[in-house]
Structure 1
Amino acid sequence: MLDFRDLFQWDRFITPTIIKAFYWLVIVLIALYGLQGVFAGLALIGVSPFVGFVTVLASVVGAVVGIVMARIGTEFVLIVFRINEHLGAIRDQGGMQR
């Protein structure tokens, strides 16, 4: 768990702890933008049915792609921190000898 003292010390990274909250915030924003696009497309259907349908379809596809990309991005950040932890463990064991 994240402790207040961790903010002022460099013994432990705080990013792996807060990345999940950041991920869910991004998911909510993507969903809101996707819904906004769907409603705009539905409103546009009255003016031009084809353009409205394409807008609704593009909004749904864009939201799905955005969610997948957000997941890939957060997993990449977590992998980088995990690699750092593993390299630190190898260094502490003395595995890097010349």
Structure 2
Amino acid sequence: MNAEWTQISPQEAAALHAAILAAHAHHDLEQLVELYAIAADNKEREGDVDAACFFLTQAFVFALETGISRAHELNRRLVAYGRAWPLEP
């Protein structure tokens, strides 16, 4: 799966959706962080802030569950949209 989705086609969107479902089925939380972040990036490029924030929230929650440092970056993005409070340092 391409981590740099610039202009996502319907086929790529379907592949991303399938990958998200597969990651859920396999309980692959780190993969879910990456896939939801990709979905959020795409929605940001489309100008759909609500959808972007939905996907960012999903990525953020899974990042918190896995304990990966990307949670801070995802939190900063949500804070910038007024959708979250900053994490404690």
Under a length normalisation based on structure 1, what TM-score does the superposition of the two structures give? 0.31
**Higher helix proportion:** 1
Larger relative contact order (C-alpha < 8 A, sep ≥ 6)? Answer: 1
Asked which structure has the greater CA Rg, the reply is 1
